[in-house]
């Protein structure tokens, strides 16, 4: 018996039947004696329908008005789900973010939660009511509606769990947990029972789309125990929490990311400050780079190669070419036909055998490595796009099926 925060995504509430199912999951937690706060996303296609309506009128409407428009989706979900719980005879109240007091920054369409008021929700919980909260949204100091950007409902749920010191935060989704790799590529991928926040962060940012990084970072910061589980099957999912560190190397999983592109500045003068200048320039333009490689080029020049998100490629090219005279490079090379495969787990760096085993798997599969990048708990290789899936299969087989 305690306080549970549950979060249900858009596919879990897409129609009346799914909403009834969600109501049953909530009811079960409530009837077991828990206080329950459930965070809901907009129904399946609602957001797309609203965006289409907006675009018919103005495809460059202000972000403030887009937030005003899109925030209705979650309000519809919580009101409908409240009615489903009422039909079951349970006491329930639905609350939009401004009614809870989920205060955010005023960066429309990408706001950050600043503070959550406790009063209204606490009052409702004390009355033994189930509290349904509209995910993805906040309210700024002026009283304007904001939305929290990608993965916003997960963030709402984790922030509520932190504010109310919930015993756990269950993220219900259409998969039943976090897997060692994408089961669509490796059918015998294995579901993990437990994974640490850091490992989950590496898996998520490397392209495992179960949970958005922001919510995992927030959960780590406030030590919120997360569980990812299926809204359709009633069985345990994957817990994400602080895992007691043991010396032993533990491989959590394999992630792939094909949303990246590669850019090379060829023929740079050998000037010590040049890398800083390049990446400072990109950073000031909100372009994140990931793997960076510096290599010696011809005739005393050097090349800098780095990866970035495909969507940023065009902007980065424009920005760098504008400064060609200052940065003094010969020319730019770019490719989008690449991908990244990452092995994630604790103690990777301290165990050189892991790297050897990974390279061996790739060698046996006849796959060329273009670049390598490592962190405390991740080892990533950059490959030709077409080699990505074969690489995932080969590495998975080597580490999980041997």
Residues in touch with a second copy (CB under 8 A): 16, 19-20, 50, 53-54, 56-58, 60-62, 64-66, 68-69, 71-72, 75-76, 78-80, 82-84, 86-87, 93-94, 96, 98-99, 120, 143-145
Residue 296: helix, strand or coil by DSSP? strand
Would you say 82 or 287 has its CB closer to a second copy? 82
CB of 75 to a second copy, least distance (A): 5
Report the distance separating Cα 40 and Cα 135, nearest Å. 5
Among 133, 143, 126, 43, smallest CA distance to 82 is for 133
CB of 78 to a second copy, least distance (A): 7
Would you say 80 or 291 has its CB closer to a second copy? 80
Find out whether 268 and 303 touch, Cβ atoms under 8 Å: yes
Would you say 115 or 310 has its CB closer to a second copy? 115
Residue 91 backbone dihedrals phi, psi, to 5 degrees: -80, 130
CB of 180 to a second copy, least distance (A): 38
Report the distance separating Cα 276 and Cα 248, nearest Å. 37
CB of 60 to a second copy, least distance (A): 8
How many C-alpha atoms does 174 have within 13 Å on its Cβ side? 9
| Three-point CA angle 276, 277, 280, nearest 5° | 80
CB of 129 to a second copy, least distance (A): 12
First to last CA, the chain: 42
Give the helix/strand (H/E) hosting 80: helix 72-87
Would you say 66 or 240 has its CB closer to a second copy? 66
Residue 302: helix, strand or coil by DSSP? strand
CB of 163 to a second copy, least distance (A): 18
Would you say 43 or 181 has its CB closer to a second copy? 43
Would you say 75 or 205 has its CB closer to a second copy? 75
């Amino acid at each position: 018996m305690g306080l549970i925060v549950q979060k249900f995504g858009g596919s879990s509430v897409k129609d009346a039947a799914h909403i009834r199912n969600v109501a049953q999951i909530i009811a079960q937690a409530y009837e077991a004696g828990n206080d329950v706060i459930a965070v809901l996303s907009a129904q399946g296609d609602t957001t797309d329908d609203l965006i289409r309506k907006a675009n018919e009128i103005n495809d460059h409407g202000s972000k403030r008005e887009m937030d005003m428009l899109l925030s209705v989706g979650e309000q519809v979900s919580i009101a409908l789900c409240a009615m489903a719980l009422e039909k079951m005879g349970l006491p329930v109240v639905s609350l939009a973010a401004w009614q809870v007091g989920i205060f955010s920054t005023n960066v429309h369409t990408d706001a950050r939660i600043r503070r959550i008021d406790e009063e209204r929700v606490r009052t409702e919980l004390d009355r033994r009511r189930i509290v349904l909260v509209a995910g993805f949204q906040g309210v700024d100091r002026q009283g304007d509606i904001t939305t929290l950007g990608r993965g916003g409902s997960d963030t709402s749920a984790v922030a509520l769990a932190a504010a109310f010191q919930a015993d756990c935060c269950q993220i219900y989704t259409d998969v039943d947990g976090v897997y060692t790799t994408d089961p669509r590529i490796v059918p015998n991928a294995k579901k993990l029972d437990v994974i640490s926040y850091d490992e989950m962060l590496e898996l998520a940012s490397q392209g495992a789309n179960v949970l958005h990084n922001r919510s995992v970072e927030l959960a780590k910061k406030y030590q919120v125990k997360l569980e990812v589980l299926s809204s359709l099957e009633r069985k345990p999912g994957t817990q994400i929490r602080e895992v007691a560190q043991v010396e032993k190397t533990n491989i959590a999983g394999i992630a792939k990311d094909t949303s990246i592109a590669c850019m090379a500045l060829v023929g740079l003068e050998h000037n010590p400050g040049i890398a800083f200048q390049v990446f400072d320039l990109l950073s000031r333009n909100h372009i994140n780079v990931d793997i960076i490689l510096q290599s010696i080029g011809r005739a005393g020049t050097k090349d800098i190669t780095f990866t970035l998100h495909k969507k940023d490629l065009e902007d980065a090219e424009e920005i760098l070419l504008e400064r060609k005279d200052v940065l003094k490079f010969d020319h730019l090379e770019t490719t989008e036909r690449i991908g990244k495969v990452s092995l994630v787990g604790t103690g990777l760096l301290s165990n050189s055998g892991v790297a050897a085993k990974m390279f061996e798997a790739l060698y046996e599969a006849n796959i060329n490595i273009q670049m390598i990048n490592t962190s405390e708990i991740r080892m990533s290789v950059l490959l030709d796009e077409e080699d990505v899936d074969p690489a995932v299969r080969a590495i998975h087989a080597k580490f999980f099926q041997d």
